[in-house]
Amino acid sequence: MKKNRIVSLTIISILLVIVLLILANNILNPFYLRTLALCAVYTIVGLSLNLVIGFTGLFSLGQAGFMAIGAYTTSLLTMSLAAKQANFFVAPLISPLNKIVWPFFPALIAGGLLAAFAAFLIGTPALRLNGDYLAISTLGFSEIIRIVLTNIQRLTNGALGLIEIPTTANVWWTFGAMGVTLVILQLLINSSYGRALKAIREDEKAAEAMGINLYKHKILSFCISAFFAGIGGGLLASLLGSIDPLQFRFLLTFNILLIVVLGGMGSLTGTVLSAFAVTIGTEALRFLDGPIIPNVPALPGLRMVVFAALLMISILLFRSGIMGTKEFNWDGLLGFLKRKPLSKRGE
């Protein structure tokens, strides 16, 4: 009976989300719709980073590089032949990319798979390191990927970037991908592999003594994380319609890391909440960059100063993040709602 109730509540919530997305798609203007879709994209990438940092205990800073691989792969495979000719006017695009056009879904999966393959190549040497050394090495690899993308003119159009990318991604694509990512990572974390990853996070030596293959599980976590980061990059490119290498600097990885820390390292629910809060918060405070008081000049950058101050206050109030290591569950919510308030005498 209890299991049936949980299944029913889950189905009702999914239907409610679908109804809300239908209403949003019909009511909200394109700017708000794109902001909503960006929330889902950053949730996907935040979940991917949380798998490595929060559940495996690997301090990786390479998400921007994997997003770039997914973004460029998806863009080059989905762009029309006319768009490719218009973009690559300095040097022609290499064959066979100049002759093929794929549907969006297989191109998106290809971007994720290529990012996972790059993670395997990078992780083979890098995952032998720990702590700060791993963070520095993955950050270095991410910057190498960005610099390579900047200099391969016939493959990525260099520093000019790509325009006229088909804008297939919308709230349905992004929220659908977010839901699939949540389900897959939840199943992974609750499996024997997930328990092994948590054991590695807590104590590598003890995990190895229990018979857990450290390299196998680390590389698995690293590649799955890169796959979903590539998916997020592909969705981002399709959502914006244009990309260039400067979009994938360390600042992007820092923003994703901020989402993970604010939500709680080791909490999928926290990552979802913080991704929406950070993305909507940065857009809601955009008015601070313009003139606020009449006849007083605007202060460029005030938005980020105020936002940074709000984040500092949030982190001080929630030392372990919004959710810590806790997850949303129906039993906890129902128990909270059924809890009787205390009387005036405290009884």
112 to 92, 119, 135, 147, 225: CA distances (angstroms) = 25, 10, 22, 20, 10
Res 323 pLDDT > 90 = no
Question: Do 49 and 256 touch, CB atoms closer than 8 A?
Answer: yes
Q: What is the pLDDT of residue 222?
A: 94
> Could you tell me if residue 346 is inside a domain?
no
pLDDT value at 347 more than 60: no
Give the span between the Cα atoms of 156 and 151, in whole angstroms. 8
- The answer as to whether 196 is a domain residue is yes
- 126/330 Cα distance (integer angstroms): 40
What is the tens place of the pLDDT at every residue in 44-74?
A: 999 999 999 999 989 889 899 999 999 999 9
Bridge partners, residue 162, by sequence: 243
Tell whether 25 is covered by a domain. yes
Find the radius of gyration of the CA atoms of the chain: 22
**Position 325 in a domain:** yes
Among 210, 183, 181, CA closest to 195:
210
Mean pLDDT of 118-140: 89
115 falls within a domain = yes
Using CA atoms, how far apart are residues 228 and 39, in angstroms rounded to an integer?
15
Do residues 319 and 270 touch, judged by C-beta distance below 8 A?
no
pTM: 0.91
Q: Is residue 128 part of a domain?
A: yes
Tokens 């979802």 identify what position? 272
From residue 107, alpha-carbon distances to 61, 76, 114, 238, 259 in Å are 25, 9, 10, 11, 27
Residue with the bigger pLDDT between 10 and 227: it is 227
pLDDT above 70 covers a percentage of the chain that reads 92
- As for how many domains the chain has, the answer is 1
Q: Note down the domain range covering 159.
A: 2-292+299-330
Residue 336 covered by a domain = no
pLDDT score recorded for residue 324 = 81
Alpha-helical regions (H) of 292-340: 302-317, 330-338
What's the confidence (pLDDT) of residue 318?
78
Q: What CATH number did the domain enclosing 215 receive? A: 1.10.3470
Q: How open is the CA angle 249-316-37, to the nearest 5 degrees?
A: 45
pLDDT in tens, 142-198: 999 999 999 999 999 988 999 999 999 999 999 999 999 999 999 999 999 999 999
Answer yes or no: is 244 within a domain.
yes
